Amino acid sequence: MTKARSLSDFIESDGSVTLVDNQQIKVGTGNDLQIFHNATDSIIFNQTGALMLRGNDVRIQSMDASATLATLTNTGAVTLYHNNSAKLATNSGGVSVTGTAVLGGASFVDNANAYFGTDLDLRIYHDGSHSFVKESGTGNLYILGDS
């Protein structure tokens, strides 16, 4: 039989609360919100409504806080990072991408080129002086107007 324990058994001298693996903090009439650690992962589980994080700016960081993974601001901007470098950012006009964006696997855009087609055989680019539309596959290049 497990010995009954009081809350004072879990409160440390510095005022923090310590729970061992697989013990849960449960909130709500039906334990709707649970927070726990299962020896491998830390889990926040919400089984009713929406799980809401609120703050003027919400930042998701690496464990040691040396890298930002994502930022969400109260102005609506969202930025996603790779290796602590901003790669995708929303703004009032849409989305900004730093680097290469792969679109459906058959198209991508990098800093200087837009490639389209199954074999990426259509390229649109600017060399600093001139603009180009180049078809490098086996088909023809057609430019059509309204008919």
Q: Could you tell me the two tokens for 137?
A: 């596959």
- One-character DSSP codes across 26-78: EESTT--EEEEE-SS-EEEEE-SS------SEEEEE-TTSSSEEEEEETTS-E
Res 108: pLDDT: 75
143 pLDDT band, cuts 50/70/90, is confident
Q: What is the pLDDT of residues 29-70, one digit of tens each?
A: 989 999 998 989 999 999 998 989 888 999 999 989 999 999
pLDDT of 2 over the 70 cut: no
Is residue 123 within 8 Å of 136, Cβ to Cβ? yes
Q: What is the pTM of this model?
A: 0.65
**CA 43 – CA 65 distance, rounded (Å):** 19
**CA 94 – CA 145 distance, rounded (Å):** 28
In the block, tokens 């830390």 appear at: 42
Q: What is the pLDDT of residues 74-108, one digit of tens each?
A: 989 999 999 999 999 999 989 998 988 877 767 77
pLDDT of 4 over the 70 cut: no
**CA 147 – CA 133 distance, rounded (Å):** 22
pLDDT of 5 over the 90 cut: no
Res 72: pLDDT: 95
In the block, tokens 């609506």 appear at: 76
